[in-house]
Amino acid sequence: MRAALSRRELLGSGAALALAAPVSLPGVLQGKLPMPVQALLPQEARGALDLVAELLKLEQEAKLRRLPASKLSIGEGGIPTDPARIYEVAMPRLVALVDRAERISPAFADRAGALLARLHRTQYEAPDAWFTDQPQQTPPELEDFRFHRPARVATPLLPGEDDDLLPVRRPIALPSADAPAVEAILPPVNPAIRFEAIASEYAAWFAAIELRPERQQSTDWHLAMMRQSRERYAGIGKQAGVPWQFIAAIHGLEASFNFRAHLHNGDHPLSQRTRQVPPGRPRVWLPPSDWEASAIDALRLMGFTGQSDWSLPRMLHRLEAYNGFGYRKSGRASPYLWSFSNLYTRGKFVADGRFDANARSQQCGAAVMLKLLDQAGELG
C-alpha cells in the first residue's frame, strides 16, 4: 500500500473532489466551498477554482449586459469538471467573451482579457528562443536584455512509455496527388536539428496526423477561431512577410488567442510594455498601444520576418526551433507541434523549467492547427 500521494495526484484528486462536490452555482460564483474541501486543496487547485469562479462571473455579467452572441462561444455557463483540462475548456470561453465585448464594451473585454492572460500563465513556458545557454553570447537582436537559461533537454523515453500512442504503421499519402496512400512506418524523432536532416520527417509526421477524438470540440473551436481572425492575422502578415496561418498558430500558443495582450508572451495589458520574458517590448510604446503594432514587433524579435521559404516543413522547423529542441534531442515529440494529435501523448516542460514526463499539454499544437487549416483547404 502506498504511503502518500504524489503532488500531481493530490492536485488532481483534490480539484476533482472540489469540483464534484454538491455546491451550488451561486456558491461557486462567490468562491464558497465547504471548509473540509478547501483544506484538501493544494494552492494550484484553489487557484484553478478561483479562475473558474471569475469566468462564471464574467459570463453571468455578459448575459446581464446582453452582449451580442459570438460564433466562438462554447460551453457557456457550465462548470469545468476535469482539473486536468481547465485551461482547454476555459480558454475558448474567455476568448469568446473578449470577442463579444470588443466593440461595444472595451472595458469589459479588457477584464476578460486580463483573466485570459492569467489562465495563459498556467500553461505557458517561455520558449528557448528568448534565452541563451552562454550568458556572454546574447544575440544582437536581444541586446537590450540578458537572459541565461541552460539548454532544456527532456528525459529520454523509457521502454513502454509511449504504449498509448496509436500504431506507428499507418497510411501515409505519397507526394503525388494521384498516387494512392501507402502503408508506411512513421520515422521516429530524429535528434538532429538541422532542417535538411529532418525536413522529410516533418512532412511524414504532418501527413500522419490524426486528431484525438476527445479533443474534437476543442479542435473545431480552434479552426473557427483562426477563420474568424484571418483578416487581422493577414493584415500584420502582409507587413511582416509572414503567412497568416503561421501567425494564427503562434497567437494560440504564445498568447492563448488573446487580442488584449502582447503576442510576445501573452502579457496583459497592451497599455503597458511586456513584463515577462522578453520584458520591455515593444521598445517604443504609447502610442501606439494596439495589438497589431505589438504583434509586428514580436514577429520581428522572434526572427520570423524577412524569411523567404514558407513551405510546410520550414514552418514546422521554425516553430520547433523557436520553442526549443529539448524534446527532439531526447527522442520525444514536441507538444508545441503535435499536442491534440495521435503523435503526442504526454511529457512537457512545466512553468518552472523542469521536464515532467507525466504532464500533458492542454494547448493545441501548432502542427495540428495547421493540419486543421489544411483539411479545410485553407493552408495553401
pLDDT tens across 348-359, in order?
999 888 999 999
**The pLDDT of residue 144:** 57
> Which pLDDT band, with edges at 50, 70 and 90, does 186 fall under?
confident
pLDDT at 353 (0 to 100) = 83
Question: What average pLDDT does the structure give for the chain?
Answer: 84
Tens digits of residue pLDDT in 95-116: 999 999 999 999 999 999 999 9
Over residues 306-313, mean pLDDT:
95
pLDDT tier at 72 (50, 70, 90 boundaries)?
very high
pLDDT of res. 84:
79
Among the listed residues 293, 357, 377, 325, the one whose alpha carbon sits nearest the alpha carbon of residue 192: 325
pLDDT of residue 49: 80
pLDDT of residue 182: 52
Q: What is the pLDDT at residue 258? A: 98
Q: What is residue 20's predicted lDDT score, i.e. its pLDDT?
A: 47
Domain residue extents for the chain: 7-121, 131-380
Q: Tell me the per-residue pLDDT of 15-71, one tens digit each, with 9 for 90 and over.
A: 444 444 444 445 544 555 544 444 444 456 667 788 889 999 999 999 999 999 999
Predicted model pTM: 0.85
Q: Residue 137 has what pLDDT?
A: 60
Q: How many Cα atoms sit within 13 Å of 212 on the Cβ side?
A: 18
CA dist 213 and 225 (Å) reads 19
Q: Which amino acid type is present at position 7?
A: R
Mean of the pLDDT values across residues 153-162?
79
The candidate with the shortest Cα–Cα distance to 218, out of 24, 85, 39, is 85
Backbone angles phi, psi at 312, to 5 degrees: -60, -50
What is the structure's pLDDT at 34? 47
User: Per-residue pLDDT for 224 more than 60?
Assistant: yes
CA distance 311 to 302: 18
User: What dihedral angle (degrees, nearest 10) is formed by the CA atoms of 93, 376, 310, 130?
Assistant: 20
Q: What is the mean pLDDT of residues 167-192?
A: 63
pLDDT confidence tier of residue 92, bands split at 50, 70 and 90: very high
Q: How far apart are the first and last CA of the chain?
A: 56
pLDDT at 22: 43
**How far is the C-alpha of 247 from the C-alpha of 266, rounded, in Å?**
14
Q: In what helix (H) or strand (E) does residue 349 lie, and over which residues does it extend?
A: strand 348-349
Mean pLDDT across the stretch 147-158?
Answer: 85
Output the furthest CA–CA distance in the chain (Å, rounded): 65
Q: Is 196 exposed, middle or buried (0-12, 13-18, 19+ CB in 10 A)?
A: exposed
Q: Which residue has the cell 466593440?
A: 103
- Please give the helix or strand (H or E) that residue 348 lies within, else none: strand 348-349
Give me the pLDDT at residue 146, please. Answer: 60
Query: Residue 194: pLDDT band by 50, 70, 90 thresholds?
Result: very high
DSSP 275: -
Share of the chain above pLDDT 90, in %: 67
- Give me the helices (H) in 139-215, please: 195-207
